[in-house]
Structure 1
Amino acid sequence: MVESKNGRWSQTGRVLAVAGLLALSGAAPATEQSQQRQQGRDANQAAKQQARSGKVDCRAENQKSNAECRQDKRDTKQEGRQEKRDTKY
C-alpha cells in the first residue's frame, strides 16, 4: 500500500511539473508581446513630443506659415504611428 501511495505522489509530481512547464512556456510570448506594445507606445510618445517641439520651433523661427507648421507636425506624428506599427509586427 505504501508503494502505491508513493506512485501516486510521483505521478502527481510529474503532472504538476508538466503543468508548470506549460504555464511558463505561454508566459514568454505574452512577455514579448507586452515589450513590443511598450516599445510602440514609447515610439508614439516620442513622435508626439518631437512634433510638438518641431511646431514650436517652426512658429518661433517664423520660417513658415502656421498651416505649414501644422502640416509638418501631422507628418511627424504620422511617421511615429508608422514606426509604432513596424515595432509591433
Structure 2
Amino acid sequence: MVESRSRLWRRTGGMLVAAGLLALSGTALATNQSQQRQEGRDANQNAKQEGRSNKVDCRAANQQSNSQCRQDKRDTKQGGRQEKRDTKY
C-alpha cells in the first residue's frame, strides 16, 4: 500500500513537471513569433512610407511620368514585402 502511494506521487509529480516545461516552452515560442511579426509589420510600414515619399519626390522633380512614379512606388513596397518575408523566417 505504501509503495503504490509513493509511485502515485512520483507519477503525479513527473506529470506536473512535464506540463510545466511544456507551458514554458510554448510561452517562449509565442514571444519569439510575436517579435518576428512586429519586425515584419515595421518593415512593411517603413516600405509604405518610403514608397509614398519617393512618389512625392518623383512627381515634384517632374523627372518621370506619373506612371513611372507609380511603378517606383510599387517596386519600393514590393521590396518591403520581401523584407517582411525574410524577417519572419
**Fold conserved between structures, TM > 0.5:** yes
Q: Which residue of 1 aligns with 2:51?
A: 51
Give me the CA root mean square deviation: 2.0
Matching of residues 3-82 of structure 1 within 5 Å = 15-82=15-82
How big is each residue's C-alpha offset from its partner over 1:34-63, in whole Å with a ceiling of 9 and x where there is no partner?
A: 111111111000000000011001111111
1:72 alignment partner AA:
D
TM-score, normalised to structure 2, is 0.81
Output the CA distance in 2 between the equivalents of 1:52 and 1:68.
13
What's the CA shift for 1:13? 5.3
Stretches (4+) displaced over 6 A: 8-11
- Displacement of 1:72 in angstroms is 0.3
Provide the identity percentage.
73
5+ residue gaps, structure 1? none
Measure the CA separation in 2 of the matches of 1:25 and 1:85.
24
Structure 2 Cα separation of the partners of residues 25 and 70 of structure 1: 46
Q: How many residues align?
A: 87
